[in-house]
């Protein structure tokens, strides 16, 4: 895949991130891969709002998350203390977005899914409908739960997960930084060979999970998986699309 002006990329030996504008006129997605003393922080944010507001909101979320973890993350700290630090980062990002939501930026917000990866485990924090997946041996072991209208309909048994992917209101989120705020936390154990995938809805709203899993399971490296997922999404997505892959 060629890298052009519509694409942001970051490739490391064990991780890869690609963000593409897709069919939109600007890219409101942002991402982060940050090395900490004993772990790595991964994050994807998908902004919402008119004009360039979504881009601003997602950038603020990523900046505040990075600032907070660099200042307050304690290597080797118990999991509950790390969770408190992550929650603080999300709360600060939410507050800063609200402070900047004036004039044309009124009403801006963003999703934010982050993963703090350390040996043998990952701590996930999520607000909105960007996702984290844990893929092992060709199967989705677990994933985050969307804060979205269609997820609520799935929970009520009114539609199936496959119908949710095609639902005309699939882009309506019920929680966001800068709007109605809530953050969910997950802790997953990692094994050798696992693939951790973070994505904005430009991927998972348009590409079937079975196809996502197939690509993630067959790829020989994080970079190859990320490139193939973007290539799969671009012909069908009508949104910005961001994928981040960690190959354990």
Give the pLDDT band (50/70/90) at residue 95.
very high
The owner of tokens 């939109």 is: 24
Give pLDDT, residue 142: 97
How far is it, in rounded angstroms, from Cα 9 to Cα 18? 4
More confident residue, 170 or 173: 173
Q: Which helix (H) or strand (E) holds 197?
A: strand 195-199
Torsion sign, CA atoms 16, 109, 79, 121? negative
What is the predicted pLDDT for the residue at 3?
A: 37
Burial 147-180 (b: 16+ CB within 10 A, else e): bbbbbebbeeeebeeeebbebeebeebbbbbbbe
Percent of the chain with pLDDT over 70: 96
| Contact of 43 with 60, CB cutoff 8 Å | no
Q: Which CATH class is domain 7-247?
A: alpha beta
Tokens of 20: 């593409």
pLDDT for 94 beyond 50: yes
The least confident of 60-64, 152-156, 169-173, 212-216 is: 169-173
* pLDDT one-digit tens code per residue, 111-127: 999 999 999 999 999 99
Domain residue spans in the chain? 7-247
**Per-residue buried b or exposed e for 1-39, using 16+ beta carbons within 10 Å of the residue's own CB:** eeeeeeebbeeeeebbbbbbbbebeebbbbbbbbeeeeb
Q: Checking DSSP bridges between strand 112-118 and strand 109-110, what pairing results, if any? A: unpaired
């Amino acid at each position: 895949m060629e890298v052009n002006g519509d694409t942001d990329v970051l490739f490391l030996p064990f991780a890869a991130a690609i963000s593409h504008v897709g069919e939109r006129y600007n890219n409101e997605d942002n991402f982060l891969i940050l090395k900490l003393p004993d772990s790595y922080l991964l994050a994807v944010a998908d902004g919402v709002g008119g004009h360039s507001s979504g881009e601003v909101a997602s950038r603020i979320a990523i900046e505040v998350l990075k600032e907070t973890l660099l200042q307050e993350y304690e290597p080797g700290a118990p999991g509950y203390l790390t969770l408190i630090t992550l929650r603080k980062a999300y709360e600060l990002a939410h507050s800063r977005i609200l402070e900047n939501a004036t004039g044309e930026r009124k009403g801006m917000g963003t999703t934010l899914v982050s993963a703090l990866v350390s040996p043998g485990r990952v701590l996930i924090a999520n607000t909105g409908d960007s996702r984290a997946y844990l893929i092992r041996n060709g199967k989705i072991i677990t994933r985050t739960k969307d804060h979205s209208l269609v997820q609520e309909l799935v929970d009520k048994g009114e539609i199936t997960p496959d119908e949710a992917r095609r639902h005309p209101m699939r882009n309506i989120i019920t929680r966001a930084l800068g709007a109605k705020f809530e953050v969910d936390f997950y802790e997953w154990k990692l094994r050798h060979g696992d693939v951790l995938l973070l994505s904005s809805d430009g991927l998972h709203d348009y590409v079937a999970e079975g196809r996502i899993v197939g690509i993630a399971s067959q790829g020989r490296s994080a970079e190859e998986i990320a490139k193939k997922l973007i290539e799969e999404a671009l012909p069908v997505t009508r949104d910005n699309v961001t994928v981040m892959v960690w190959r354990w």
